[in-house]
Amino acid sequence: MAPGVSTPDGIGFPFPARLTIVSGRRPTEDEEACAVVTTERFAQGMTMSEYLAQMTANRERFASAIERTAIGPADERLLQRLGVRKVMVITEDWCGTSIMCVPYVAKLVEGHADVELRVFLRDENPDLMDQYLKQGKYRSIPVIAFFDDDMRELARFIEQRPG
């Protein structure tokens, strides 16, 4: 969390509902203007099951991390409070940071039929990855972006777990 950002509800997300965090900072106007993910493009992503099935590295570590991840009451309220309906993850199976962050996201949306999760591989989706560059130049992963029903971005996290 960026220094000086308050979290009135204690769950790690400042208000207002239109929130964007990029590695602990708000994006520039240029970054925000460039980030466009359409409903059609989002639908091309893999489900979590499809992502797990295609993994060639760290599959056991990833599955174990999902099993060990606990979601508390504050986490449960997060999706509802922000109005999240779609979650996009950009990752690669060899990334250690992704193994720490993405299982939390998978567990967070599990059991929420009204929230759709799609996973994109960074190296196979440069059109998406280049919209979420860290500091405008680094293809850092994981990228986790929350959207509403109309694909308006509500929040983004680069190389960090939401919450």
pLDDT band at 35 (very low <50, low <70, confident <90, very high): low
- Residue 44 token pair: 């091309």
φ/ψ (deg, to 5) at 32: -65, -40
In a domain, 10, yes or no: no
Residue span of the structural domain in which 110 resides: 36-158
Specify the pairing of strand 143-147 against strand 153-158.
antiparallel
- Position 20 pLDDT exceeds 60: no
CATH of the domain at 86: 3.40.30.10
- Determine the Cα–Cα distance for residues 99 and 109; give it in Å rounded to an integer: 16
Give pLDDT tens digits for 47-57.
999 999 999 99
Q: Please give the Cα distance from 62 to 57 (Å, whole number).
A: 9
What beta strand segments (E) does 32-161 contain?
86-91, 116-121, 143-147, 153-158
Residue 118 has pLDDT above 80, yes or no: yes
Please give the model's pTM, rounded to 2 decimal places: 0.79
Q: Is residue 126 part of a domain?
A: yes
Cis-peptide into 16, omega within 30 deg: yes
Residue 130 lies in a domain: yes
- pLDDT given for residue 36 in this prediction: 80
Whether 93 is in a domain gets the answer: yes
Report the chain's mean pLDDT, rounded to a whole number: 83
Predicted pLDDT at 21: 46
Contact, 18 vs 154, CB < 8 A? yes
Q: How many domains does the chain have?
A: 1
Q: Is residue 29 part of a domain?
A: no
Give the mean model confidence (pLDDT) for residues 97-105: 95
